[in-house]
Each structure stands twice: as structure tokens, then as C-alpha cells.
Amino acid sequence: MSERVNSILAIARECLGTPFVHQGRDSVKGIDCAGHLAHIFKRKNLNYNERKAYPRIPFGGAIEKNLDSQPHLKRIHRSELSPGDVIVFRIETSPQHIGIYTGKNIIHACSTVKRVVEVPFKPWKPQLKLVYRIVE
């Protein structure tokens, strides 16, 4: 893997075990899936347009609008998915959750287990809706 991808994955893994906190932005006290992505951007010294006060379950294209507005994210086709990419999943119907793809796994702030975890991608693959690449 490239140095860029290794850096993204290493930073994403810094948060493993961090408690899940809705709208959290502290990689020790707690983060949510958007906070996990914000942490990666902060550590890479990349601008991140923060969205404040969002609902627990996003709706109306809120995640896409926020990610599309990021100066260091580029939406790519799902067939181009590769390690280090930002992946967006549906939980119910619309895109509602963000993770980082490792190649075999995803790293994400999981509300059901109440912390940031790395889990196999395969069970999540049917829910994959969008893919973004971090561009520096």
C-alpha cells in the first residue's frame, strides 16, 4: 500500500476502542462516525467543513451534501473502492453511516457496540451506497 493509504489507516486505527458519542469530536472521550472522519482530516492537516447539530439518524441527503462539500474528498464510483477510501452505508434506506475501508475490513464508530471498531467489510457490502477518496 502507498504511504498515503498507510497514513490514513494508521490514523483511523488510532481511534479503535474510543467510545461512541453522537456528535463527539474527541478521539479519547468519544466520537461518532463523522467525528472519526474529522479526526483523520485534523491529523492529516486537511481542511474539513464541520457540520454542527445534526440528528442521530441523518436524512434528506445530509451525509452526501456534507461529504460533497469537503475540499479534500472526491466522490468515486463504487467499483474504484480501494484501501483508505471513505465509505458511506445505508442503515435503513438512505446513506446514514461513514467508515474507512481497509481492503478487507472497515473501521467505524459503531453505535451498537458503543465504540470505534474494525470489522469485516463483507457483511456491510450490501449496504454500501457511496465511496469517497481523500485527496491531499
| Kind plus residue range of the DSSP H or E element containing 3 | helix 3-14
Looking at residue 56, what is its pLDDT? 65
The Cα–Cα gap between 21 and 91 comes to 18
pLDDT digits (tens, 9 = 90+) for 51-107: 776 766 766 778 888 999 999 999 999 999 999 999 999 987 778 899 999 999 999
The domain locations on the chain are 3-134
pLDDT of residue 136: 86
Question: Per the confidence metrics, is the pTM higher than 0.85?
Answer: yes
The mean pLDDT value of the chain amounts to 93
CATH of 3-134, one of 3.40.190.10, 3.90.1720.10, 3.90.1150.10, 3.10.150.10: 3.90.1720.10
Buried b (16+ CB within 10 A) or exposed e, 107-119: bbbbbeeebbbbe
HSE at residue 95, side-chain half, CA atoms within 13 A, is: 19
Whether the CB-CB separation of 33 and 57 falls below 8 Å is answered with: no
The partner residues of 117 in beta bridges, in order of sequence, read 108
pLDDT band of 2, cuts 50, 70, 90: very high
